[in-house]
Amino acid sequence: MQFTHISVMLNECIDNLNINPNGIYIDGTLGGGGHSLQILSKLNKGKLIAFDKDKTAINFCQQKLEKYLDKVVFINDDFKNFKQHLDELKIQKVDGILLDLGVSSYQIDTASRGFSYIHDAPLDMRMNQDQQKTAFDVVNYYSEEKLTDIFSRYGEEPYSKRIAHQIIFARKQKPISTTLQLAEIIKRSVPPQQQGHPAKRVFQAIRIEVNAELDELEDCIKEMARSLNKDGRMCVLTFHSLEDKITKQAFAELCADCICDKKIPVCICHHKKEAVLVNKKPITATNEELNLNPRAHSAKLRVLQKI
């Protein structure tokens, strides 16, 4: 099995985790194991807890990280359920957390997974192959209003209403069952594109909906940060503006002494800052990395440290 994935901003992520060789770390999105491998290589008596919803990633990394099996715990689940698993492992606090919120290159490039608008495949897009809801269900059973909302909210697609209307019209003739069928409907629904593929934003929106990627993400980021030991660090790597906005908002609240509405003249929340920003502006990929890995173009890395 080939599980090809180039870890984005690998050095920046590892350097900013400021790894303690005897600490406990979480990799919330194991993927191809690039980040996890580097974390494990720096551990002595430490431990890594690695999450992934995709069993394929877990199976691959159990082989890739074979040298470090005494230091790693693999968990086939969404990182949003981290608290339950830490409790089961009798771990109260950790020393560092890395969340890479991108979709792995393996998932995109494996045509049968249905993430790509370039390759023809069944409409799937599930990161967790055991879950019921697929992209087929979203495209064929959601109402026009709900499709419009998803395309607009998760894809920031300016022609959301027109695309949704055309999907409804097309599926009345026959079910929309493949990625290229859907991509063609989208292409016919919008003016000719000057840059990028016309289906990119809609496919992103459907993928986010299928996998509930943004559901409770802000609360989870805050809860994870609160599980850090003093001076522990959290690195969040995002790949589109929605993820970055949620991360920025969560970090801002954790790093603020007051979260009252600005219209209130006196603080009544009594909130105390729990962390500080390590980098006030997000870190982006170097030109050298961008030349080697085009998928790093939209990536932003935000880092905070628990106080």
Mean pLDDT of the chain: 92
Asked if residue 305 has pLDDT above 70, the reply is yes
265 and 277 both lie in a single domain = yes
The percent of residues above 70 in pLDDT, for the chain, comes to 96
pTM of the complete model = 0.88
Query: Which of 192, 211, 230 is at the close of a domain?
Result: 211
Query: Do the domain assignments include residue 181?
Result: yes
Number of domains in the chain: 2
Distant-in-sequence contacts of 157-165, Cβ < 8 A, 24+ apart: 157/201, 157/202, 157/205, 159/189, 159/190, 159/191, 162/189, 162/190, 163/189, 163/190, 163/202, 165/189
Does residue 1 belong to any structural domain of this protein? no
Residue 288 inside a domain? The answer is: yes
Q: What amino acid is encoded at 47 in this protein?
A: K
Which range among 45-49, 109-113, 205-209, 296-300 shows the weakest confidence by mean pLDDT? Answer: 109-113
Across residues 12-19, what is the average pLDDT? Answer: 97
Q: Which CATH number covers residue 222?
A: 3.40.50.150
pLDDT at 196 over 90: no
For residue 218, give its domain range.
10-101+214-306
* Domain contains 95: yes
- Asked if the model's pLDDT at residue 109 lies above 90, the reply is no
Nearest-angstrom CA–CA distance, 43 and 20: 7
Residues 264 and 121 placed together within one structural domain of the fold: no
231 and 89 share one domain: yes
One domain for residues 121 and 164: yes
Per-residue confidence (pLDDT) for residue 132, from 0 to 100: 94
Residues 172-186 have pLDDT tens digits of: 999 999 999 999 999
Q: Is 101:237 a contact under the CB 8 Å cutoff?
A: yes
**How far, in Å, CA of 89 to CA of 78, rounded?**
16
Task: Indicate the residue type of 111.
Answer: A
Same domain, 82 and 116: no
Query: Using an 8 Å Cβ cutoff, are 34 and 3 in contact?
Result: no
Give the pLDDT confidence score for residue 205 in this predicted structure: 97
Judged against a pLDDT cut of 50, whether residue 216 lies above it is answered with yes
Of 295, 250, 287, nearest to 99 by C-alpha is 250
Domain's final residue, options 165, 188, 211: 211
CATH number, residue 129: 1.10.150.170
pLDDT above 90: residue 266: no
Q: Are residues 240 and 177 in the same domain?
A: no
Residues 220 and 288 in one domain: yes
Residue with the bigger pLDDT between 6 and 278: it is: 278
What is the band of 271 on the pLDDT scale with cuts at 50, 70, 90? confident
Looking at residue 3, its pLDDT comes to 54
pLDDT (tens digit, 9 = 90+) per residue, 241-260? 999 999 999 999 999 987 77
What pLDDT was estimated at residue 156?
A: 93
Q: Residue 252 domain-assigned?
A: yes
Last residue of a domain, one of 186, 211, 236: 211
- Is there a single domain that holds both residue 141 and residue 203? yes
Is the domain of 199 the same as that of 219?
Answer: no
Percent of all residues in the chain with a pLDDT value above 90, rounded to a whole number: 81
Same-domain pairing of 65 and 26: yes
Residue 125 in any domain: the answer is yes
Q: Say whether both 206 and 262 belong to one domain.
A: no
CB 281 within 8 A of CB 249: no
107 domain residue, yes or no: no
Residues 67 and 121 in one domain: no
- pLDDT by residue (tens digit) across 76-107? 999 999 999 999 999 999 999 999 997 766 66
Of 270 and 141, the structure prediction assigns the larger pLDDT to: 141
Q: Model confidence at 1, in pLDDT bands (50, 70, 90)?
A: very low
pLDDT at site 252: 95
The Cα–Cα gap between 148 and 240 comes to 19
In terms of Cβ atoms closer than 10 Å to its own Cβ (0-12, 13-18, 19+), residue 189 is buried
How far, in whole angstroms, is CA 43 from its chain's centroid? Answer: 25
Q: Does residue 174 belong to any structural domain of this protein?
A: yes
Record the tokens describing residue 203, joined without a space: 């496919």
